[in-house]
Amino acid sequence: MRFTHARRVRASEEPMSTPLLVRSLDSLLPRSAREFGGKAVGLAALVQGGFPVPAAHVVSSRAALETFERVLPSHLQPAQLLSARPVDEQALAQAQKRVLAATLDAELQQALSKAFAALRASDADEVAVRSSSTAEDQDAVSAAGLHHSVLDVRDEAQLFDAVRHCWASVFHPRVASYLQALGAERVGAMGLVIQAMVPADSAGVLMTVNPLSGDPAQMLISASYGLGTAVTDGSVTPDSYCVDKVSGWISDRVLGDKARRLVLGPEGGLRSESVPTELARKEALDEYALGRLIEVGRRIEQYFGDARDVEFAFVDDELFILQARPLGLGFGATNAARPSRRPTAHARDGRSIVWSNVNVGEALPGVATPLTWSVLSDFSELGFRQAFAALGCKVPREARLVGSFRGRIYLNLSELVEIGSQVPGVRPTSVLPLGGGAEVERLELALPRRGSAGYLLRLPAIAARFASSNLGLASRLQAFETRFGEERARIEALDLRILPAAALDQTLSDVRRLLDEAGAILLTNYGGLLAALLPLRAALRLLSGARADGELQTLLSAIEEVEAALPGRELLSVAEAFARDVAARELLLGSEAGALSGRQALTAIEGLGACAARDAFATFLSRHGHRGVREAELSEPRWREDPGLLIDALRLHVKHAGSEPARRLEQRLLELRKGADQALSSYPAPLRPALSTLLSLVRRSLRTRERLRSHVVRILGFFRIIALDVSRRLRVREPEVGPDAAFFLNLPELHGVLRSERTAVLSRVALRRRQYERERSLPDPPDTFVGYPPPLSSEPLDHADETLRGHAAGPGAVEAKARVLRSVGELAKLEPGEVLVVPSADVGWAPLFVLAGALVTERGGPLSHACVVAREYGLPAVVNVSGATRRIESGDRLRVDGDSGVVQVLSRG
């Protein structure tokens, strides 16, 4: 075998000419090894812990400092260069050139030669020379990937040259700016690790905490064939595994393409080569390797007491740990050690858990950024617990109610249903259809048998508490809205650019408090909604049988004063103002209008001068500019930032809608209200008062829910503007971090950045950004699955089935051509009256609903926000139609029956 770490250099065999500058790794004591740099300290700790680390020697940072002192004039010394603001890149280049041309000290050369010989004696044919700065691999400062490493060093001349190149990386402008922003001590203190090269068969990275969701109960593994460099630099798409840390159960696995691998060339250097197709289709790690890696990953986290980013390699079946740096702020010992759920139950039942994003995926489709996940997962967990507590249900402290799969948010239906079943009569068959849930029969069978005596004994206290909270809801809402109005005015008046970090940190805490308060009221309202809706639905099923769901949609149509429906209705009035104004109409429909972006069009509208069209649009933005598509995702711009969808919708309205579209919509809504009144009057007279009371309660709760949802979206907008300003501050300190860095931090980390000017985030943000982009490149997992998503998540196209079924969500039936839109960027293709077929639709899509003839979505339930809006516009709607955007193509002629939940393909376009 070309390489083995079985024989390591003993301390007595160390090079003796400069014993304090070059030492063997296994003679190094981590607590007194700071001068050798962060990478060396981490590796020494791994060796001391008995982990399988390749043989290595380390070089003290004093060797670099002494060389800089000898070969560089005073004005090119690292400390002097970094004192200049901005950094003088020309001076840095001069310093780099001098260091690369320097002759190493004779004693240092001798010590390096002896270290190299010792490594060769351990059967290492090649070595890697890796930078080990004293400013890297710390809890708050990573600097990972900033400095230089030289791989596949085969002789002494290459070794000396590699040492110079690593030292010269101190003078790279990126490194200099990073260290300058941190105010790093001992600038230029660059240690080195000279380590046996591992000719890996497969390699990659293990993170002991999921870096995207921040879930401390999950580990994430990325692996591919060949050297791990191809994984860490993103040049291959690796296999990825999400692992339950407690049980070792792999909850998700995604096969990467692994088309190429990086290997050691026979004549030296690295070589990229094709991976045979049959091999690429296999996983890079077999079950034995995965099990070994998971076990070592758990031990590493336990040994260090915090979350770690672990680089590993396998040669044959032998595992080597190449590095284990701290994963970063926010993943400290407390989080890493905290179990998020009961080990035995979830280890035993994990493969039978039903996960679904049918409803939550409508509010937040696609991959969530880490900041969004951090805010909304905590919000959801807290909210569910409060809601269940209000119903008198006991929620296990360790229960995991929300999860992340491939970056998408899912609800644990098994856990939610089991907790909810503590209320007598609440079963999956009665609750899940309201939210669009699936696997109802499986969930029914899995429910434990429980008596209701204990709950009934507590019922008087539960009922009193429930009645008190719901009867006082109106006054609580009014008090909150008064406080929220004051806080909103205060926050919107702040100039975040000049706000001290401590004040911005306090503002972030204030916004979190607002979100929790709004959420508590929202969930109290949800309890009242279900308390009225469940008996109303049960009564309709007794009275109308199979027609009950359609009858319910009719009764819930055209509810007046629903906040979520206002944007679409008011945009019609804006369109009428543009249609009446020649200059405004030309701006929208002129030959150059289509080339204007949303921001450019906004500027052009503002330049119209005083006119009804400009004033109407400004009023619309002041009322609804906080909304947008995917408005629960904090990184997405709001309408007031990018009104592109609004401008495109106005163009379509003005071009196609003709005169008085708002009046025509009001007439349609009037007819819907008459239809609802007629439906109610068709029931037996003795039952009408009770049904009418329940219906009034449901309608009022839905109005309140949409009103509160609007407040929540405004609050999420506050999180967004704070994150944008934190991103701006971070970019000043670390220019390469990008303009959106804060969205790749979690909430505790955001507070940490504002409380510490020395916190560095570049490597953490880069890591998560790569993971985020990887997750986005994957097809969505199924809306509902059991255990974990299938390895191949893309569902095959099925055009043979001409009948598609979902949930009835908006009454009425329409026959029209389909228009499949997968993003709002395709909006211009929509023609009035077409059936809008989309993966999901939140309130941000509402301006399109008044143009469409019907709505079909892949996600959502009858009570989702999009369905409430669709019913307000009298739009027949069917939701939760699996694979609709793949099974239907634009131009297909459809019949959409919003009463039965059936979509029929009448003919193919």
Average pLDDT over every residue of 864-870: 77
Q: Is the pTM of this model over 0.95?
A: no
Question: pLDDT higher for 329 or 770?
Answer: 770
DSSP 211-267: TTT--TTEEEEEEEEB-THHHHTTSS--EEEEEETTT--EEEEE-----EEEEE-TT
Average pLDDT over every residue of 444-457: 63
**Whether the Cβ atoms of residue 735 and residue 754 lie closer than 8 Å to each other:** no
**pLDDT value at position 653?**
84
Q: 321 is written with which tokens?
A: 């740990």
- Under the banding of pLDDT at 50, 70 and 90, the label for residue 618 is very high
Please report, to the nearest 10 degrees, the dihedral formed by the alpha carbons of residues 758, 49, 207, 379 taken in order: -70
Average pLDDT over every residue of 176-188: 59
CA distance 816 to 818: 7
Count the alpha carbons within 13 Å of 612 in the hemisphere toward its beta carbon: 11
**pLDDT value at position 743?**
96
Average pLDDT over every residue of 708-737: 92
**pLDDT value at position 272?**
87
**Whether the Cβ atoms of residue 54 and residue 198 lie closer than 8 Å to each other:** yes
- Under the banding of pLDDT at 50, 70 and 90, the label for residue 460 is low
**Whether the Cβ atoms of residue 643 and residue 655 lie closer than 8 Å to each other:** no
Model confidence at 252: pLDDT above 60 = yes
Q: Which residues of 63-72 are buried (b: 16+ CB within 10 A; e: fewer)?
A: bbbebbeeeb
- Under the banding of pLDDT at 50, 70 and 90, the label for residue 178 is low
Give pLDDT tens digits for 304-327: 998 898 999 999 889 999 999 887
Peptide bond into 19 cis (omega under 30): no
Model confidence at 234: pLDDT above 80 = no
**pLDDT value at position 35?**
87
**pLDDT value at position 893?**
94
Give pLDDT tens digits for 645-680: 888 888 888 887 655 666 777 777 788 788 888 888
Where on the phi/psi map is residue 787: left (φ > 0), alpha (ψ -120 to 50), or beta?
Answer: left
Question: pLDDT higher for 559 or 475?
Answer: 475
Average pLDDT over every residue of 726-742: 90
**pLDDT value at position 662?**
67
**pLDDT value at position 180?**
60
**pLDDT value at position 142?**
41
* Contact partners, residue 636, CB within 8 Å, separation at least 6: 628, 629, 630
**pLDDT value at position 467?**
62
**pLDDT value at position 520?**
84
Average pLDDT over every residue of 724-748: 91
- Under the banding of pLDDT at 50, 70 and 90, the label for residue 91 is confident
Average pLDDT over every residue of 174-185: 60
Question: pLDDT higher for 797 or 861?
Answer: 861
**pLDDT value at position 215?**
77
861: nearest Cα among 338, 434, 383, 428: 434
- Under the banding of pLDDT at 50, 70 and 90, the label for residue 843 is confident
**pLDDT value at position 138?**
47
- Read off φ and ψ for residue 266, nearest 5 degrees: -65, -25
**pLDDT value at position 187?**
61
- Under the banding of pLDDT at 50, 70 and 90, the label for residue 89 is confident
Average pLDDT over every residue of 365-381: 87
- Under the banding of pLDDT at 50, 70 and 90, the label for residue 705 is confident
* Contact partners, residue 729, CB within 8 Å, separation at least 6: 501, 753
- Over the chain, what is the mean pLDDT? 81
**pLDDT value at position 332?**
41
**Whether the Cβ atoms of residue 37 and residue 61 lie closer than 8 Å to each other:** yes
Model confidence at 436: pLDDT above 80 = no
- Under the banding of pLDDT at 50, 70 and 90, the label for residue 235 is confident
Give pLDDT tens digits for 261-285: 988 877 777 888 999 988 988 999 9
Percent of the chain with pLDDT over 70: 84
- Under the banding of pLDDT at 50, 70 and 90, the label for residue 16 is very low
**pLDDT value at position 345?**
38
Give pLDDT tens digits for 541-591: 888 887 877 788 788 886 777 888 888 888 888 988 998 888 888 888 876
Residues 333, 338, 340, 344, CA torsion sign = positive
**pLDDT value at position 396?**
82
**pLDDT value at position 425?**
63
Please report, to the nearest 10 degrees, the dihedral formed by the alpha carbons of residues 50, 53, 57, 58 taken in order: -80
Strand runs labelled E in 297-407: 308-315, 318-326, 354-356, 402-405
| Alpha helix ranges (H) inside 426-472 | 428-435, 440-446, 453-471
Q: Which residues of 685-699 are buried (b: 16+ CB within 10 A; e: fewer)?
A: eeeeeebeebbebbb
Three-state DSSP state, 889: coil
Model confidence at 382: pLDDT above 80 = no
Average pLDDT over every residue of 7-15: 40
Question: pLDDT higher for 551 or 1?
Answer: 551
CA distance 601 to 643: 8
